[in-house]
């Protein structure tokens, strides 16, 4: 009797279109096209479906980066699956898909390209780095709010023809400046109430920004001591910039070339070349806007 023997592990490819409440998944093996299934947004449900219908398969899956973050990738990696998180702009699409876009079409397209090995995953950060990134971006959000409320206060003063004293007319607001604004006498109480409300908002955001900035630097000093102080030793890089680099880029040693780092940050030119015509389009729009602005400011 001749016994059959498996010479290669069968492969399963899963294209996923992920949303808050449901995942639409298309399944293909290396031999045949299976079907599209919509299931609850839960890694356990997907695992049970694969074990039931595709036992013994080597699993590869992918989904587009978006609001659902990287927790899905980490959950599926714990199952020893090959997981890709792809930039939506890098997924090849036909012109037909500009007019017909559904979850089923999207996940099927991802699955097709995953099987052809046409997709490249973006970097999947660890959970600690991702949560540090949340703290750093919260600080950026507060900084933007602080600029906004300052502009609102200056706008109200300009609208009513109130001129700031020369010693206060600069980006750095002192306590004396805020005291001077709070003591402005308005003809009617409505404008006074509006200004007092803005000053209360300014104080809250001001102190919240200081607290978050202090916490961010302290966290990096404690958990990323060596790299934090190495970055701070570079002229122009302070505590916030160093923390931002660690939060957004993680371990810089993972970059084999300076060009790889520049590409992620976005400090590379856009180029359009046709025949003998070559046009520089300025800096690439593909960038991490948080870290690029920090590095440009540090350079200044």
* DSSP character string of 225-274: HHHHHHHHTSTT--HHHHHHHHHHH--GGG-SSHHHHHHHHT-SEEEEEE
Q: What is the pLDDT of residue 20?
A: 92
Q: Are 26 and 36 in contact (CB under 8 A)?
A: yes
Residue 203 maps to a domain: yes
Domain check: are 106 and 137 in the same one? no
Q: What is the pTM of this model?
A: 0.85
Return the closest-CA partner of residue 184 out of 204, 161, 167. Answer: 161
Domain region containing 76 = 11-115
Residue 1 maps to a domain: no
Domain boundary among 83, 115, 147: 115
Domain check: are 18 and 100 in the same one? yes
Domain check: are 139 and 194 in the same one? yes
How big is the CA angle at 44 (ends 10 and 126), to the nearest 5 degrees?
A: 90
Domain check: are 110 and 149 in the same one? no
> What does each of the 300 residues of the chain score in pLDDT, given as a tens digit?
455 555 678 999 999 999 999 999 999 998 889 999 999 999 999 999 999 999 999 999 999 998 899 999 999 999 999 999 999 988 988 887 778 888 899 999 999 999 999 999 999 999 999 999 999 999 999 999 999 999 999 999 999 999 999 898 888 899 999 999 999 999 999 999 999 999 999 999 999 999 999 999 999 999 999 999 999 999 999 999 999 999 999 888 888 888 888 888 888 777 777 767 777 767 777 788 888 888 888 888
Domain check: are 86 and 150 in the same one? no
What is the dihedral sign for C-alpha 82, 83, 88, 90?
Answer: negative
Domain check: are 111 and 22 in the same one? yes
Residue 120 maps to a domain: no
Domain check: are 104 and 140 in the same one? no
Domain count, the chain: 2
Q: What is the pLDDT of residue 1?
A: 47
Residue 48 maps to a domain: yes
> 10 Å Cβ neighbour count for 300?
6
Domain check: are 161 and 111 in the same one? no
Residue 21 maps to a domain: yes
- CATH code, 109: 3.30.420.40
Structure tokens given for 70: 């990287």
Residue 55 maps to a domain: yes
Q: Are 126 and 224 in contact (CB under 8 A)?
A: no
Domain check: are 111 and 139 in the same one? no
What is the secondary structure of 195-230 as a DSSP string?
HHHHHHHHHHHHHHHHHHHHHHHHHHHHHSHHHHHH
Residue 91 maps to a domain: yes
Residue 147 maps to a domain: yes
**Which stretches of 62-188 are DSSP H helices?**
71-77, 103-115, 127-159, 175-182
Domain boundary among 202, 224, 246: 224
Which region holds residue 216: left if phi is over 0, alpha if psi is between -120 and 50, else beta? Answer: alpha
Domain boundary among 224, 257, 284: 224
């Amino acid at each position: 009797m001749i016994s059959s023997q498996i010479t290669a592990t069968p492969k399963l490819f899963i294209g996923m279109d992920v949303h808050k409440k449901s995942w639409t998944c298309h399944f293909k093996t290396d031999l045949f096209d299976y079907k599209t299934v919509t299931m609850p947004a839960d890694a356990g449900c997907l695992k049970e479906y694969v074990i039931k219908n595709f036992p013994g398969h080597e699993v590869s899956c992918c989904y587009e980066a978006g609001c659902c973050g990287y927790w899905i990738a980490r959950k599926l990696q714990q199952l020893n699956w090959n997981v890709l998180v792809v930039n939506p702009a890098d997924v090849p699409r036909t012109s037909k898909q500009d007019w017909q876009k559904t979850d089923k079409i999207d996940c099927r397209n991802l699955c097709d390209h995953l099987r052809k090995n046409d997709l490249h995953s973006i970097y999947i950060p660890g959970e600690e780095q991702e949560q540090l990134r949340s703290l750093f971006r919260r600080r950026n959000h507060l900084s933007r709010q602080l600029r906004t409320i300052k502009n609102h206060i200056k706008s109200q003063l300009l609208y009513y023809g109130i001129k700031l004293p020369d010693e206060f007319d600069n980006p750095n607001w002192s306590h004396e400046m805020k005291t001077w604004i709070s003591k402005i006498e308005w003809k009617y109480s409505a404008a006074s109430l509006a200004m007092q409300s803005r000053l209360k908002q300014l104080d809250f955001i001001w102190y919240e920004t200081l607290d978050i900035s202090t916490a961010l630097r302290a966290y990096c000093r404690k958990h990323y001591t060596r790299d934090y102080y190495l970055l701070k030793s570079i002229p122009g890089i302070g505590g916030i910039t160093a923390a931002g680099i660690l939060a957004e880029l993680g371990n810089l040693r993972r970059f084999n070339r300076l060009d790889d780092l520049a590409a992620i940050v976005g400090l590379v030119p856009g180029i359009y070349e046709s025949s003998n015509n070559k046009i520089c389009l300025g800096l690439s729009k593909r960038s991490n806007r948080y870290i690029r602005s920090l590095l440009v400011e540090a350079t200044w």
